[in-house]
Structure 1
Amino acid sequence: MGLDDIKRRIAAAEERAGRAPGSVTLIAVSKVQPEGRVTAVLDAGHRVFGENYVQEAQGKWPDWRNRWPGVELHMIGPLQSNKAKAAVDLFDAIHTLDRMTLARKLAQQADQQGRSPHLFIQVNTGDEPQKAGILADELPVFLSSCHDLGLSPSGLMCIPPEGHDPLPHFRLLRRLAHDHGLPHLSMGMSADFESAIAEGATHVRVGSAIFGDRA
């Protein structure tokens, strides 16, 4: 596998689903990958990357952005409220808005910094008690509260339960996004991104299939 292979598979999945070429954004998940693997993907021209940890991203991306202009950086891991300031400063999109305390912090930082990343609400589609995310039936109230804070989430994100068929979860997320007029769907990873594209994903998060197993 590798970047070119994943891009070909995304293009083929778009075509099968009757979707416009380029309608799916590939987020290359670069967390804890060796520097050489990431810079090789940058050298190949890819510019959209995902990170799970604010501190790790702070340590490498400011320099890499200077060397490779045009990078778009997505926060795809759990975000602690005390890291909201750094996250708003560093990331172009945050996919893990999952609780009201974080929404308040992000709204405060957006106001103070005069910028707001694109926001995806993480939905716990499997009602898993150990997993972060808003439950599906809590989404309308959560969205309303976000709007009251001046936030404008543009999409939803989910991580289906491990070992389960992801399709019902992709379909639930798509229905929720449609019902609430949200245009973006962040769903699908290395093992199932083609199924996610068939169900309407606009952003897929692929790491090991591009870079190889994490160090």
Structure 2
Amino acid sequence: MDIASSQHDVASALAGVRVRIEQAAREAGRDPADVTLVAVSKFHPQSAVEAALQAGQRVFGENRVQEAAAKFPALRKAWPDLKLHLIGGLQTNKAREAVRIADMIESLDRPSLSDALAKAADQEGRLPDLLIEVNTGDEPQKFGVPREEAEAFIRANRTRFGDRLRGLMCIPPAGQDPVPHFQFLRQLADEHGLAVRSMGMSADFPQAIAQGATLVRVGTAIFGGRPAGLAAN
């Protein structure tokens, strides 16, 4: 596939996702402008991100700090309004680089990471916006703070990071109805006065929007499938 075809495919897919976001928001009685699309570009080349940028997309999500660091600094020079979200599980030894390059970190999920991010913010003189990832299915193989620990963890990080703690994120269990998980996250966010709810991926973002998502993380529906053996958003 040549570059022009690739750009056309990304632009066309992106337009289709935007239409579906608008439809889902209007069906839920919401303003589509209240839902931000995070285009998940993990595992896809810089050229795919450029195609999305040229089609007007500005908010992107990456799982791995090292991959984001390789792709995005050069892109920011051409598109300074680009926003980078780190959405994957974050190791504490990557906290400083994450703080340096990200506009939002969506995967705060344990006290040791809170400590590492606070230290990194002091070192770098900046702190990205933060979301707490909640493991709404209490799945042992997944990142995210367990449901029963979420309340205390939110309170502790509101005290520590103030308004930089913007909201919550979740990834419902595969094969389950995601709606109860979206409802739980929205209720938890509402109880703590947190405005941002990052929930919904390619397979279920319309349902997430109906339940109050303000960020939807869509990868496959925009960029196509992942390499074999890698999970898709």
Return the TM-score normalized by structure 1: 0.96
Aligned residue among 98, 102, 106 for 2:113: 102
Aligned residue among 32, 48, 71 for 2:82: 71
Q: Secondary structure at the match of 2:165?
A: coil
The residue aligned with 2:98 is 87
Question: Match for 2:184: what amino acid?
Answer: L
Q: Secondary structure at the match of 1:2?
A: helix
Deviation of 1:169 after TM superposition, in Å, equals 0.4
| 8 A contact 1:88–1:116 mirrored in 2 | yes
- Residue 180 of structure 2 corresponds to residue 164 of structure 1: no
Give the number of aligned pairs.
215
- Residue 55 of structure 2 corresponds to residue 44 of structure 1: yes
Question: RCO greater where, 1 or 2, for CA within 8 Å and sep 6 or more?
Answer: 1
| 8 A contact 2:14–2:222 mirrored in 1 | yes
Aligned residue among 25, 29, 54 for 2:65: 54
Structure 2 CA distance for partners of 1:119 and 1:150, relative to 1, 3 Å: closer
Matches within 5 A, 1:9-24: 9-24=20-35
Deviation of 1:115 after TM superposition, in Å, equals 1.5
Deviation of 1:137 after TM superposition, in Å, equals 2.0
Q: Secondary structure at the match of 2:33?
A: coil
Q: Quote the Cα distance in structure 2 between the aligned partners of 1:34 and 1:52.
A: 14
Unaligned runs of 5+ in 1: none
Calculate percent identity across the aligned residue pairs. 55
The residue aligned with 2:16 is 5
Q: Quote the Cα distance in structure 2 between the aligned partners of 1:51 and 1:127.
A: 23
Unaligned runs of 5+ in 2: 1-11, 228-233
Per-residue CA deviations over 1:145-170 (Å, capped at 9, x if unaligned) read 22343354111100000111101100
Aligned residue among 195, 198, 201 for 2:207: 195
Bigger drift between 51-60 and 31-40 goes to 31-40
Bigger drift between 148-157 and 161-170 goes to 148-157
